[in-house]
């Protein structure tokens, strides 16, 4: 059985080899891509503009194993048939190791790990008023409390119950002892795509480029308000409350994604080039050259320069070796 795990930018790449789940405990051929060197290469493709602060992975087997980013070669020995990973770009809360996802928690009926891209805007203060204790500043911890306190017994119903009480932008992946669950908020604020490898393994990721790097084929977006469950019986989908109008995050188009990404079913290269062309029409100016603010602005400037018939020149240099700028 082959298992591959790859870190994606911002949220997660999840892989579940559902077809080979019954052979979980015999000998495994486990290839983890998230060793230190591979991670640095992957992340340079994923979020060079935004930078990365922390990285983590969780695998599923007889028990959970939480591996901090400095584990190094020990990752090659991880057991399990599925895994979730997270590369954290902190926009809220602190950036200490305690806030690195996935978060793992135990409750009455088992254990669960979660990784999250987005922000919740409600419920934390209500939980605190009711006596809940939080160990970190990340709002991701809220969903674990909601799952643990749900009145439902099956895990899937606990997830649905929790998500129906959440407000905000979120793409979530959950991992238990026998299944993984991917959820996208009803407005579709954050991207979440679904792919498949040749061996039948399912992959969920924030960006399509993560699929390319492990030779997975893009299948579709997880729809706004959709819950996708993968386990040894196969794949099933159900829908939360949906909204007629989606509310996609514009920052994915402007800043987060690389030009070679497809986000919200749109090519980032074509979108940004079009932004530049529109700017010429809406705010024309007389100029001798056009200079981009790297790296996100480069493609938009190419569109601007072509539309305005003004030469593009490189006037600002960004070092790719100093991390965040």
Model confidence at 11, in pLDDT bands (50, 70, 90)?
very low
Q: Is residue 73 included in any domain, yes or no?
A: yes
Q: What mean pLDDT do residues 107-128 have? A: 76
Question: What pLDDT, on a 0 to 100 scale, did the predictor assign at position 35?
Answer: 31
Q: Is the pLDDT of residue 21 over 50?
A: no
Whether residue 32 is contained in a domain is answered as yes
Residue 253 inside a domain? The answer is: no
Q: Nearest CA to 235 among 184, 182, 185?
A: 182
Confidence of residue 104 (pLDDT cuts 50, 70, 90): confident
Maximum separation of any 2 CA atoms in the chain, in Å: 69
- Mean of all residue pLDDT scores within the chain: 72
Q: Are residues 155 and 63 in the same domain?
A: yes
Statement to judge: residues 209 and 269 lie in one domain: no
- Give the CATH number, domain containing residue 23: 3.60.20.10
Binned at pLDDT 50, 70 and 90, residue 272 comes out as very high
**Do 192 and 153 fall within a single domain?**
yes
Name residues whose C-beta falls within 8 Å of residue 79's C-beta, 6 or more positions apart in sequence: 28, 30, 59, 61, 62, 65
* Boundary of a domain, candidates 221, 239, 257: 239
Three-state SS at 14 = strand
Query: Within 13 A of 33's CA, how many CA atoms are on the CB side?
Result: 23
User: pLDDT digit string (tens) for 205-223?
Assistant: 888 888 887 888 999 999 9
Cα–Cα nearest to 35, from 14, 11, 62, 55: 55
Picking from 205, 239, 273, the residue at the C-terminal end of a domain is: 239
Flag whether 316 is in a domain. Answer: yes
Query: pLDDT at position 166, please?
Result: 82
- Per-residue confidence (pLDDT) for residue 209, from 0 to 100: 80
Structure-model confidence comparison of residues 155 and 7, the more confident one: 155
d(Cα 66, Cα 227) in Å, to the nearest integer? 25
Domain annotation covers residue 250 = no
Range picked from 17-26, 189-198, 248-257 for highest mean pLDDT: 189-198
Same domain, 128 and 200: yes
pTM of the model: 0.71
**What is the domain extent for residue 82?**
2-239
| Residue 255 within a domain | no
Whether 137 and 276 share a structural domain: no
Q: Is 55 within a domain?
A: yes
- Domains of the chain: total: 2
Query: Does 126 or 184 have the greater pLDDT score?
Result: 184
């Amino acid at each position: 059985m082959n298992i591959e795990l790859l870190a994606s930018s911002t949220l997660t790449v999840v892989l579940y080899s559902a077809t080979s789940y019954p052979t979980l405990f015999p000998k495994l051929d486990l290839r983890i891509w998230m060793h230190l060197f591979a991670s640095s290469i992957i992340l340079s493709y994923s979020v060079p503009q935004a930078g990365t602060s922390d990285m983590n992975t969780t695998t599923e087997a007889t028990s959970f194993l939480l591996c901090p980013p400095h584990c190094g070669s020990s990752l090659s020995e991880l057991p399990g048939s599925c895994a979730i990973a997270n590369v954290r770009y902190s926009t809220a809360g602190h950036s200490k190791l305690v806030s690195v996802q996935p978060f793992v928690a135990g409750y009455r009926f088992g254990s669960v790990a979660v990784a999250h891209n987005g922000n919740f805007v409600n419920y934390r203060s209500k939980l605190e008023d009711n006596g809940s204790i939080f160990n970190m500043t990340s709002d991701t911890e809220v969903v674990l409390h909601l799952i643990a306190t749900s009145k439902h017994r099956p895990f899937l119903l606990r997830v649905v119950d929790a998500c129906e009480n959440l407000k905000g932008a979120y793409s979530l992946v959950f991992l238990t002892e026998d299944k993984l669950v991917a959820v996208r908020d009803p407005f579709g604020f954050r991207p979440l795509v679904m792919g498949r490898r040749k061996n039948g393994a399912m992959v969920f990721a924030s960006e399509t480029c993560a699929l390319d790097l492990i030779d997975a084929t893009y299948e579709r977006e997880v729809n706004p308000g959709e819950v996708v469950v993968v386990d040894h019986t196969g794949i099933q989908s159900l829908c939360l409350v949906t909204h007629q109008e989606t509310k996609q995050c514009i920052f994915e188009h402007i800043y987060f994604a690389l030009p070679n990404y497809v986000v919200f079913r749109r090519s980032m290269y074509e979108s940004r080039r079009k932004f530049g062309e529109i700017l010429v029409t809406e705010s024309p100016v007389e100029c001798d050259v056009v200079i981009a603010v790297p790296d996100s602005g480069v493609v938009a400037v190419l569109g601007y320069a072509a539309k305005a018939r003004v030469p593009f020149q490189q006037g600002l240099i960004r070092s790719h070796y100093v991390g965040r700028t």
